C-alpha cells in the first residue's frame, strides 16, 4: 500500500472568516484587479490563548484556463476548404488565419504554424502580429497533387502552455475533374401541426455526397449540413402560419465554390387538437309556462376547429363595389372569399348565389362575381353562401352591395390587404395608409382599429392576448357610393429579447494593439444592432469588438458598456473591462554574478541590485547567509565567516507579477579574509653556527605563523639591521651566514621579533 504524505496547511481568515481555495473575496471595486489584502490571524491553544495577526498582500493573476482558438477565413465564406484556382501564381493568398485566447493577449511571437501537410513546400504561412496569411509558394502549374490536408497548431505562450490544432483542406482545381451535380430545386411537404420537435419534414436530394446544406433566414426548421434532411425546431401552429417557403442553400462539393438554392414549400396540416366549443349559448333561458311538450326551446350549436368538421366562414361578410353605367356583360363585380380550417376535400370551399337574382353569375370555385347583362343606375344586393367539399354550409353569408353610377367611380389607390402586427404593439401604433380616387371618407368596423381623415390606420387598443389573427373591414364613401376592403391582420410573436450570457467580461489588451485589431465577439442571442459608449473601441454589426482609437499612454484600464438593441427596441448591456498592458520588455539578467564580501560584514549590507524592473519579484531557492530582496537587491542575511565556506552560490528566480514569465540566475559570493590577526613570532629565537662555517651557510629557518587566510595569512621576512652580516629569505625565512652578528627581524605585519645567532668566538 502506498502511503500518502499530507502536509498541514493552516487556513486563512478574512475578517475572522475562513477562506477556502474556492473562495474569491472581493479585492477591488471594478475588476480586473491585481492586488488584494487579506488579514491572517493565528492563535495558540494555551491558557489564556494568545493571538496575532498580519496583513497579507496577495498579487492576483489570471490562470491560463483556455486553449487558443484558430479562426480560418476563406473566400467565399460559405465553403470550408481553400481552392488553388487554375493559373494561380506564387504569392496568392488562400486563407487568413487568426488566433485568439480568452485568457488575454498571446505571448508567443509566432502563435501559429503549419505542423504537417506541407512536405512539398507548396504553401507559405506569413505570421504577423495579429493575423497570418496562407499563401502559395509555387505557381499552380508546378503543383502536382490534387489536394492537401494542412494541419495547423497554435500555442498561447503562457504557463502552462496550451495548444489547439485545426485542419484545412486545400484542393488544386487544375488536377481535379468534378462530376456534374444535380440538385433537387423545388419540392413540397406536408407536416401535421401537432408534430413533435425534430420531426422529419423533407430531404433535399442531390447525386453527390459532398454537398453541404444550410437554411436561409429564420424559420422554425433545421437542415442537416451533411444529409440535407429538414426537421422542425419548434412546435407548429396552423393558426400562425399554414405554409412556409424554405430556401436551402446547397454548397456544391469541392473543388466548386458555387452554391444553388433549393425551394421547399412546407404546408402545416390541421389536426384534431381542439375541443368543441358551444356557440351562441345564452346566459339565461326563459320558457313560457304554457309551452307544449316537444316544442323547440333552444337550438344548441357547437364548433370544432379541427380537421374535417369545420364550416366555411366569410371573414368579411360585407362587400361594396362600384361599376360605371354601360359596363359590358362579363365585367367583374368583386370576388368573395371564405376559408375552411379543414384539410383535403373538406377544406375546399364552393360558392353559390343564395337569391334568385338576374344579371350576375359566380364562379363556384373562386367566388368571382361577374355581370351577365347591362345594368341600370341603381343599387344591387347580392347574397352569397358557401359550403365545403363535405356539404357543410358556411357559418355566415356574404352580402355584396353594387353601386351602378353614371358619374365618377370610386377605387382604392394605396393600402395593403394584409398587415403584420407585433403582439407587443400598443394603441396609437401606425399600421398603414389608405387612399382612394377620388378622395373619400374612410371608416372601419373593427373596435381594435382607428383611421383618421388622412387615411392613416392605427391601433385603437392593444391586441388581446392569444390572438393570432383578425379581420377588419374598411368602408370608403364618396358621392353616394362606397367601396370596401377586407383586411387580414396577422399577429407576429416577438422573438426573444437580446440577452448576453455574461454581463461583465474582463480582458487584457496590449497597449501597442493596432487600429482595427479584433478583441472579442459578443453574442446577445438574436440579431441586433450594437453600440459602444467607449471612444477607444468600436463594434460592428456582427458584434465584433475592435480597437477604434489608439489608447493614451496614461490610461491603464478601459471600461466600456456595449448595448445590443433588437428591431423592437429591446436592449441588453455588457460591461467590458480591459486592462491595458505595455508590451513586456525582456528582463536582462546575466547567467551568473560574481561578488566579493569581507567576512564579518554586518547583516543587512546590500551587495548589488540585479535589476530595476518593478514588474518582477526576485526569490532565492536556497536558505543561505546571502539573500535577495523582492526588488532584486542581494544582501547579507546572516554573518558570514570564511571558516564556514570560501564561496556561497545562490540560485535566484525572477517571476513576473502578472504573467507567469520566469528568469533564472546564480549569484556567487566570494568571502574575503578580513586580516584581523597579526603574525606570531617563531618559537625558536636562538640559532648556533659552527666555527669555520663558510659564507652562505644556512643558519636556520624562521617559522612565523599568521591565523589569517589567503594573502592575509602569508608571512614575509626582512632584516631590520645587520643586513651585511646575515641574509634572510623573504618568503622562505631561510637565514644565511655572512658575518658574526646579533639581529632583529621585522615581519610583514610590523611585528618585531628578536633573533640571536651565536658564533663559537662569542
**Contact, 633 vs 611, CB < 8 A?**
no
The reported pLDDT for the residue numbered 308 is: 59
Pick from 432-441, 623-632, 716-725, 734-743: least confident:
734-743
Please tell me the class of the 592-672 domain. mainly beta
Please tell me the class of the 186-269 domain. mainly beta
User: Cell digits for 4?
Assistant: 500518502
Cβ burial, residue 114 (10 Å; 0-12/13-18/19+): middle
Instruction: Name, of 60-74, 113-127, 170-184, 687-701, the range with top average pLDDT.
Output: 113-127
Domain with CATH 2.60.40.60 in the chain: 69-175, 186-269, 313-492, 504-581, 592-672, 686-758
The reported pLDDT for the residue numbered 266 is: 92
Helices (H) and strands (E) in the chain, counts: 0, 60
Distance separating alpha carbons of residues 487 and 315, to the nearest angstrom: 9
Other Cβ atoms less than 10 A from the Cβ of 345: the count is: 10
pLDDT range class, residue 740, cuts 50, 70, 90: very low
- Domain 504-581 bears CATH identifier 3.30.1180.20: no
Distance separating alpha carbons of residues 395 and 613, to the nearest angstrom: 90
User: Cell digits for 233?
Assistant: 425546431
The reported pLDDT for the residue numbered 252 is: 87
Distance separating alpha carbons of residues 587 and 633, to the nearest angstrom: 15
The reported pLDDT for the residue numbered 368 is: 95
The pLDDT mean for the chain works out to 82
Sheet bearing 752-758, strands edge to edge: 686-688, 752-758, 743-747, 717-719
The reported pLDDT for the residue numbered 431 is: 92
Distance separating alpha carbons of residues 384 and 404, to the nearest angstrom: 19
Max Cα distance, the chain (Å): 186
Query: Which one-letter DSSP state was computed for residue 680?
Result: B
- Domain 686-758 bears CATH identifier 2.60.40.60: yes
Distance separating alpha carbons of residues 198 and 194, to the nearest angstrom: 12
**Contact, 654 vs 694, CB < 8 A?**
no
The reported pLDDT for the residue numbered 643 is: 66
Statement: residue 128 has pLDDT above 60: yes
- Give which of 489, 477, 487, 488 is closest to 321, Cα–Cα: 477
Pick from 141-150, 158-167, 468-477: least confident:
158-167
Q: Count CA atoms closer than 13 A to 40's CA, side-chain side.
A: 11
**Contact, 168 vs 118, CB < 8 A?**
no
User: How does DSSP assign 495-554, residue by residue?
Assistant: PPPP--S-SEEEEEEETTPPTT-EEEE---SS--EEEES-SSEEE-TT-EEEE-SPPPTT
pLDDT range class, residue 153, cuts 50, 70, 90: very high
Geometric angle at alpha carbon 535, from 532 and 541, rounded to 5°: 35
- pTM greater than 0.75: no
DSSP helix/strand/coil, 347: helix
- Fold of the domain built from segment(s) 313-492: Immunoglobulin-like (2.60.40)
pLDDT in tens, 217-255: 888 999 999 889 999 998 888 777 888 989 999 988 887
pLDDT in tens, 666-676: 999 988 877 76
pLDDT range class, residue 4, cuts 50, 70, 90: very low
User: Cell digits for 535?
Assistant: 471612444
The reported pLDDT for the residue numbered 754 is: 61
Query: Which one-letter DSSP state was computed for residue 183?
Result: B
pLDDT in tens, 270-304: 776 666 777 777 878 788 877 777 778 788 877 66
User: Cell digits for 263?
Assistant: 425551394
Query: CA torsion, points 195, 199, 201, 206, in degrees to nearest 10?
Result: 180
Provide the CATH number for the domain formed by 69-175 in this structure: 2.60.40.60
pLDDT in tens, 181-223: 888 888 888 888 888 888 889 999 988 888 899 998 888 999 9
**Contact, 618 vs 660, CB < 8 A?**
no
Pick from 130-139, 273-282, 725-734: least confident:
273-282
Amino acid at each position: 500500500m502506498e502511503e500518502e504524505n499530507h502536509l498541514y496547511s493552516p487556513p486563512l481568515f478574512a475578517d475572522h472568516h475562513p477562506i477556502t481555495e474556492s473562495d474569491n473575496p472581493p479585492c477591488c471595486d471594478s475588476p480586473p484587479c491585481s492586488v488584494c489584502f487579506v488579514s491572517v490571524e493565528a492563535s495558540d491553544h494555551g491558557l489564556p490563548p494568545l493571538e496575532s495577526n498580519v496583513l497579507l498582500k496577495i498579487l492576483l493573476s489570471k490562470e491560463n484556463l483556455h486553449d487558443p482558438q484558430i479562426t480560418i477565413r476563406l473566400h467565399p465564406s460559405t465553403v470550408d476548404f481553400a481552392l488553388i484556382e487554375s493559373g494561380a501564381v506564387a504569392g496568392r493568398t488562400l486563407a487568413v488565419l487568426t488566433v485568439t485566447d480568452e485568457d488575454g493577449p498571446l505571448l508567443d511571437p509566432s502563435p501559429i504554424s503549419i505542423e504537417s501537410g506541407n512536405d512539398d513546400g507548396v504553401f507559405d504561412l506569413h505570421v504577423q502580429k495579429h493575423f497570418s496569411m496562407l499563401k502559395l509558394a509555387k505557381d499552380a502549374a508546378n503543383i502536382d497533387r490534387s489536394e492537401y490536408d494542412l494541419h495547423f497548431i497554435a500555442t498561447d505562450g503562457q504557463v502552462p502552455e496550451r495548444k489547439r490544432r485545426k485542419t484545412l483542406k486545400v484542393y488544386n482545381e487544375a488536377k481535379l475533374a468534378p462530376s456534374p451535380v444535380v440538385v433537387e430545386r423545388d419540392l413540397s411537404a406536408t407536416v401535421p401541426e401537432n408534430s413533435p420537435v425534430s420531426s422529419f419534414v423533407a430531404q433535399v436530394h442531390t447525386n453527390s455526397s459532398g454537398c453541404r446544406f444550410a437554411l436561409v433566414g429564420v424559420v422554425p426548421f433545421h437542415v442537416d449540413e451533411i444529409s440535407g434532411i429538414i426537421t422542425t425546431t419548434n412546435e407548429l401552429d396552423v393558426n400562425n402560419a399554414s405554409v412556409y417557403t424554405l430556401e436551402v442553400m446547397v454548397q456544391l462539393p469541392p473543388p466548386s465554390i458555387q452554391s444553388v438554392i433549393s425551394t421547399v414549400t412546407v404546408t402545416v396540416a390541421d389536426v384534431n387538437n381542439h375541443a368543441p366549443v358551444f356557440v351562441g349559448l345564452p346566459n339565461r333561458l326563459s320558457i313560457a309556462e304554457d309551452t307544449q311538450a316537444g316544442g323547440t326551446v333552444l337550438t344548441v350549436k357547437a364548433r370544432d376547429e379541427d380537421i374535417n368538421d369545420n364550416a366555411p366562414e366569410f371573414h368579411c361578410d360585407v362587400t361594396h363595389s362600384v361599376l360605371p353605367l354601360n359596363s359590358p356583360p362579363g365585367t367583374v363585380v368583386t370576388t368573395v372569399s371564405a376559408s375552411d380550417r379543414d384539410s383535403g376535400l373538406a377544406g375546399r370551399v364552393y360558392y353559390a348565389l343564395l337569391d334568385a337574382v338576374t344579371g350576375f353569375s359566380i364562379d363556384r370555385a373562386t367566388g368571382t362575381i361577374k355581370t351577365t347583362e347591362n345594368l341600370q343606375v341603381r343599387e344591387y344586393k347580392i347574397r352569397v353562401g358557401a359550403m365545403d367539399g363535405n356539404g357543410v354550409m358556411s357559418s355566415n353569408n356574404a352580402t355584396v352591395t353594387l353601386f351602378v353610377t353614371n358619374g365618377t367611380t370610386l377605387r382604392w389607390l394605396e393600402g395593403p390587404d394584409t398587415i403584420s402586427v407585433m403582439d407587443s404593439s400598443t394603441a396609437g401604433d401606425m399600421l398603414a395608409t389608405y387612399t382612394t380616387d377620388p378622395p373619400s371618407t374612410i371608416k372601419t368596423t373593427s373596435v381594435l382599429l382607428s383611421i383618421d381623415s388622412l387615411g392613416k390606420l392605427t391601433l385603437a387598443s392593444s391586441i388581446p392576448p392569444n390572438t393570432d389573427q383578425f379581420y377588419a373591414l374598411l368602408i370608403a364613401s364618396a358621392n353616394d357610393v362606397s367601396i370596401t376592403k377586407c383586411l387580414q391582420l396577422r399577429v407576429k410573436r416577438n422573438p426573444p429579447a437580446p440577452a448576453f450570457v455574461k454581463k461583465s467580461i474582463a480582458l487584457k489588451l496590449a497597449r501597442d494593439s493596432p487600429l482595427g485589431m479584433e478583441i472579442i465577439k459578443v453574442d446577445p442571442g438574436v440579431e441586433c444592432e450594437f453600440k459602444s459608449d467607449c471612444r477607444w473601441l468600436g463594434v460592428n454589426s456582427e458584434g465584433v469588438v475592435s480597437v477604434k482609437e489608439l489608447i493614451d499612454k496614461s490610461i491603464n484600464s478601459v471600461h466600456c458598456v456595449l448595448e445590443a438593441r433588437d428591431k423592437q427596441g429591446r436592449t441588453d448591456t455588457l460591461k467590458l473591462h480591459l486592462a491595458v498592458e505595455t508590451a513586456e520588455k525582456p528582463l536582462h539578467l546575466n547567467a551568473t554574478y560574481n561578488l566579493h564580501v569581507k567576512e564579518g560584514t554586518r547583516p543587512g549590507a546590500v551587495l548589488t541590485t540585479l535589476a530595476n524592473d518593478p514588474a518582477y519579484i526576485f526569490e532565492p531557492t536556497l536558505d543561505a547567509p546571502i539573500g535577495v530582496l523582492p526588488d532584486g537587491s542581494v544582501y547579507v542575511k546572516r554573518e558570514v565567516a570564511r571558516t564556514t565556506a570560501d564561496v556561497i552560490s545562490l540560485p535566484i528566480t525572477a517571476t513576473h507579477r502578472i504573467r507567469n514569465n520566469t528568469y533564472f540566475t546564480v549569484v556567487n559570493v566570494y568571502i574575503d579574509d578580513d586580516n584581523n590577526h597579526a603574525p606570531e613570532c617563531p618559537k625558536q629565537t636562538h640559532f648556533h653556527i659552527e666555527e669555520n662555517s663558510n659564507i652562505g651557510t644556512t643558519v636556520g629557518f624562521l617559522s612565523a605563523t599568521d591565523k589569517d587566510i589567503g594573502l592575509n595569512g602569508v608571512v614575509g621576512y626582512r632584516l631590520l639591521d645587520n643586513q651585511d652580516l646575515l641574509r634572510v629569505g623573504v618568503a622562505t625565512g631561510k637565514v644565511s651566514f655572512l658575518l658574526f652578528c646579533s639581529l632583529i627581524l621585522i615581519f610583514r605585519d610590523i611585528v618585531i621579533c628578536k633573533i640571536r645567532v651565536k658564533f663559537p668566538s662569542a
